[in-house]
């Protein structure tokens, strides 16, 4: 297979998992649960994209499914959580603006996969 075609296939096979959430913080217990949810996302390799949006690079759809299931296993009891997966190609087309100035998209991760 030609290198260009292989690169195009990888852009659609490599996935990004996005977790978007709106969690209550009115009580001390709510704040602790929200903090624990964020901590578990980070422990599973997610990075903060915006305050309530975390992303994780996954080398395949199968790997993305594993991380999605992990997030489902530690969902907080209250609040709204959305889990979304997009291809590397779609993630690369994100436009980011900060104070009306366009920024470069986040760097693509080169991740060694042993499986």
Give the pTM: 0.78
11-89 folds as Alpha-Beta Plaits (3.30.70)
Residue ranges of domains in the chain: 11-89
Whole-number CA gyration radius for the chain: 16
Q: pLDDT by residue (tens digit) across 56-107?
A: 999 999 999 999 999 999 999 999 999 999 999 999 999 888 877 777 777 6
């Amino acid at each position: 297979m030609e290198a260009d075609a292989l690169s195009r296939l990888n852009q659609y096979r490599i996935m990004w998992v996005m977790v978007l959430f709106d969690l209550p913080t009115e009580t001390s217990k709510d704040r602790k649960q929200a903090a624990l949810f964020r901590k578990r996302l980070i422990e599973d390799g997610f990075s903060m994209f915006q305050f309530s949006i975390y992303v994780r690079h996954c080398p395949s759809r199968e790997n993305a499914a594993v991380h999605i299931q992990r997030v489902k296993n530690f969902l907080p009891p209250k609040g709204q959580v959305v889990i979304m997966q997009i291809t590397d190609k779609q993630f690369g087309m994100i436009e980011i603006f900060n104070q009306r100035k366009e920024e470069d998209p986040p760097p693509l991760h080169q991740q060694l996969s042993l499986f």
